[in-house]
Structure 1
């Protein structure tokens, strides 16, 4: 059992590296080709949804699994809401933000936005958080991000990027809360809550992207990157992460997932040659620490119940 858990941790860390690299690969495509962020995100999630659906179909065919008739189906309105908030808004707007700001800035603002908006929804709707320490640590995240941006002389592009990433956080928080609301049955399958909404979100992104953005002009490298983003960073990474959940507890997965913030910053420096000051590096570390503390407190509270 310990050996299985050890390999699950290694696989989970590998998946975080794949997901962190997505920020860098997106920026490379933006820098080397003519493609809008909505179009790029739409192509990625179209490829990812097809990859996941194909893998699931082949696996179930190999195991000769039959369709279950007793499982609960979502209706098309629910699919549309999950697709809109989870992929068009949460992912599409994040890509728009990445178009204007660096990968490190994107991951920082995303962490801050996701935490603050999830807490906002909890205060006015879910009311699940009982420990006030969560709010103190969230305040610590906000201060850390403000320190990172000090002395706050942001350009117009920076402001636009930050606003779109925060908008994506709104989509993330609503999608997370709504998913918990509709997924009340363990019989629901991957394609019910991920593949179909992802396909719907990709379609929306592509329709609006092709109507509002310039027609893509891609270099050969960009074609390979988009394919990689969809199949490997999307389909394969999602599948591997799902496998690790059989051996890792929720708080362990959350802790490992926090590596993405640090990984993005290091990749940003190493691959894109971005530079950060000592103060900014410290701010990133404190952001990660406060996020871990938030998850630790919430997990401990859930365990107490």
Structure 2
């Protein structure tokens, strides 16, 4: 029973990462016509609106009323880091870089999460988890290196460096908020997404204006908002109640494998023997990091 209870959040988290992996393909399609910040801001603002019917229920309204000023500050900070900073930089990164390069950059998040988790959450990974992280990162390097980048891609790497730092900070802060079990995942997602997404959309309007969006692009946006955001982020917050910050981050980084396969199927990016070897090593690292210390 304990094993089954332990595996459920792992499988839920993996399902969420699959949805997020398909987002890379859909975003790349939409970026042909939509500016990156406006694309990101519209996606998450619409997802926030989709949440409204679920939040106007009495129990959810009562929970929102219990939010203190300190709670609002913490959730606003999560929204700023996780939506405005992390998602904004990822959309800009995808407009400048191939999807696999963005994925490579995000795979360095576990190292930052490991350091932050020790400092702020007192979550110390076991030796086998550390080995798993090292193996995982070694696999990403084998898969992607050598990387030959032009000036635009170098700028994208700089943007994604900021994105990695924001992603790591969001992982740690999200874990710290969710492990307290003070509020439901819906409330956490609703408040943080609302503040972060509208700040992102406002920034996009100021710097990018209002673009013309076609019917097909609206399909992309609505799918990303409803399924890959509203559903996926709520489920992800639920898994953070059981998984540590490092575990969640490494599960999130199995997207490397999923994005590579989806990119091959939908973007025509082929895999050679070195890349397949890297994927296998990444998978082994992700499995090892799930091993917890026995108390």
Normalising TM by the smaller chain, what interval?
0.7 to 0.9
| Structure 2 match to 1:28 | 29
Q: Does 1:167 align with 2:177?
A: no
1:60-139 map, 5 Å: 60=57, 67=62, 71-75=66-70, 76-112=72-108, 114-122=109-117, 124-129=119-124, 131-139=126-134
Q: Pick closer, same or farther for the CA change 1:261–1:210 going to 2, 3 Å.
A: same
1:71–1:187 CA contact under 8 A, matched in 2: no
Return 5+ residue gaps in structure 2 as ranges. Answer: none
Q: Does 1:17 align with 2:12?
A: no
| Structure 2 match to 1:213 | 208
Query: How far apart are 1:65 and its partner, in Å?
Result: 7.4
1:179 and 1:100 mapped to 2: Cα distance?
Answer: 28
Query: How far apart are 1:116 and its partner, in Å?
Result: 1.4
Root-mean-square deviation (CA, aligned residues, Å) is 3.5
Query: How far apart are 1:180 and its partner, in Å?
Result: 3.9
Q: Pick closer, same or farther for the CA change 1:231–1:130 going to 2, 3 Å.
A: closer
| Structure 2 match to 1:198 | 193
TM-score normalised per structure 1 = 0.79
Equivalent of 1:278 in 269, 273, 276: 273
2:185–2:234 CA contact under 8 A, matched in 1: no
2:132–2:289 CA contact under 8 A, matched in 1: yes
2:215 and 2:91 mapped to 1: Cα distance?
Answer: 21
Equivalent of 1:263 in 252, 258, 266: 258
1:72–1:187 CA contact under 8 A, matched in 2: no
Q: How many residues of Structure 1 are paired with residues of Structure 2 in the alignment?
A: 289
CA offset digits 1:257-292 (Å, max 9, x no partner): 565332211111111112232212221332232133
Q: Does 1:156 align with 2:167?
A: no
2:119 and 2:138 mapped to 1: Cα distance?
Answer: 23
| Structure 2 match to 1:40 | 39
1:294 and 1:154 mapped to 2: Cα distance?
Answer: 31
Tell me whether 73-82 or 281-290 shows the greater mean CA deviation: 73-82
Q: Does 1:233 align with 2:228?
A: yes
Query: How far apart are 1:186 and its partner, in Å?
Result: 2.4
SS in 1 for 2:289: helix
| Structure 2 match to 1:50 | 49
Q: Pick closer, same or farther for the CA change 1:11–1:72 going to 2, 3 Å.
A: closer
Return 5+ residue gaps in structure 1 as ranges. Answer: none
CA offset digits 1:186-207 (Å, max 9, x no partner): 2313354221111111112112
1:38 and 1:122 mapped to 2: Cα distance?
Answer: 29
Query: How far apart are 1:86 and its partner, in Å?
Result: 1.4
Q: Pick closer, same or farther for the CA change 1:203–1:242 going to 2, 3 Å.
A: closer
| Structure 1 match to 2:289 | 294
Query: How far apart are 1:91 and its partner, in Å?
Result: 1.4
1:79 and 1:160 mapped to 2: Cα distance?
Answer: 30
Query: How far apart are 1:177 and its partner, in Å?
Result: 2.3
1:109–1:145 CA contact under 8 A, matched in 2: no
